A and B are shown apart, each in its own frame.
Chain A
Amino acid sequence: GENVEQHPSTLSVQEGDSAVIKCTYSDSASNYFPWYKQELGKGPQLIIDIRSNVGEKKDQRIAVTLNKTAKHFSLHITETQPEDSAVYFCAASMNDFGNEKLTFGTGTRLTIIP
């Protein structure tokens, strides 16, 4: 089955700086890669996703890049703000009928230092 590794497990950055979280996956058939943000006491919430037919996707201060050859994808947050402090999870799936399961990374706790 799919295996997703996520690094780093904790990350602290100064407010206004950029943060980068990286994930690698094992199954070359995976073609859907979402990122979730989880605030304290809440369920994970989708913040951005990318499919294998594109290499980069951007939404305001958040971007995701995908390298299918190397089987890794990254989350980039620019101009970080205190409200970006949370746990971030990457995930991967094949998103095909009969195999609709996401495999999650172990999470990154991001702390923004004011």
Chain B
Amino acid sequence: NAGVTQTPKFRVLKTGQSMTLLCAQDMNHEYMYWYRQDPGMGLRLIHYSVGEGTTAKGEVPDGYNVSRLKKQNFLLGLESAAPSQTSVYFCASRSSGSEVFGPGTRLTVL
């Protein structure tokens, strides 16, 4: 039981490049979330999904897109990366009760 895994762990992009972050969970959780964590700002919700095939905007969705084609996977896309998107990105999943977090992806946009 791996829990929540994230790929990649680290990435450096140039401004304007695109990339996809992958989140996978093996706990059969319905709900999945993408957060970004910046110093002094805690965890801010980017997008979330309440089930396969559904997505919704969170607190800071601009510049990101998501897809949930399979229940176990939640993808976060950056179409045209900007330096303001330099952050640590966390995925989480949940059935009832608390969220289980992945180990994070550290993204730097130059």
Q: Which of B43-51, B60-68, B71-79 contacts A (4 or more CB under 8 A)?
A: B43-51
**Contact string, A1-24, partner B, CB cutoff 8 A, digits 1/0?**
000001001000000000000000
Answer whether A43 and B40 are a contact pair too, CB < 8 Å, given A100-B31, A100-B50, A101-B58.
no
Question: What DSSP secondary structure best describes chain A's contact surface?
Answer: loop
> Using Cβ atoms and an 8 Å threshold, which residues of chain A touch B41?
106
Interface members, chain A 83-114 (any B CB < 8 Å): 89, 95, 98, 100-102, 104-107
Asked if B103 and A42 make an inter-chain contact with CB atoms under 8 angstroms apart, the answer reads yes
Query: How far is A106 from B45 in the complex, measured between Cα atoms in Å?
Result: 13
Query: How far is A89 from B41 in the complex, measured between Cα atoms in Å?
Result: 11
> Using Cβ atoms and an 8 Å threshold, which residues of chain A touch B94?
100
Asked if B90 and A44 make an inter-chain contact with CB atoms under 8 angstroms apart, the answer reads yes
Query: How far is A21 from B45 in the complex, measured between Cα atoms in Å?
Result: 23
Q: Of A98, A100, A104, which contacts B42 at CB under 8 A?
A: A104
Answer whether A43 and B104 are a contact pair too, CB < 8 Å, given A100-B31, A101-B58.
yes
Asked if A43 and B102 make an inter-chain contact with CB atoms under 8 angstroms apart, the answer reads yes
Q: Of B42, B45, B104, which contacts A101 at CB under 8 A?
A: B45
Asked if A49 and B98 make an inter-chain contact with CB atoms under 8 angstroms apart, the answer reads yes
> Using Cβ atoms and an 8 Å threshold, which residues of chain B touch A104?
42-44
Across the interface, name the chain B residue whose C-beta is closest to A102.
B99
Across the interface, name the chain B residue whose C-beta is closest to A46.
B98
Q: How far is the CB of B45 from chain A (nearest CB, A)?
A: 6
Interface pairs A-B: 8 shortest CB-CB? A43-B101, A106-B42, A46-B98, A104-B43, A104-B42, A34-B98, A44-B101, A100-B31
- 14 example contacts (A-B, Cβ-Cβ < 8 A) are as follows A34-B97, A34-B98, A42-B103, A42-B104, A46-B99, A46-B100, A89-B43, A95-B96, A95-B97, A101-B48, A104-B42, A104-B43, A104-B44, A106-B42
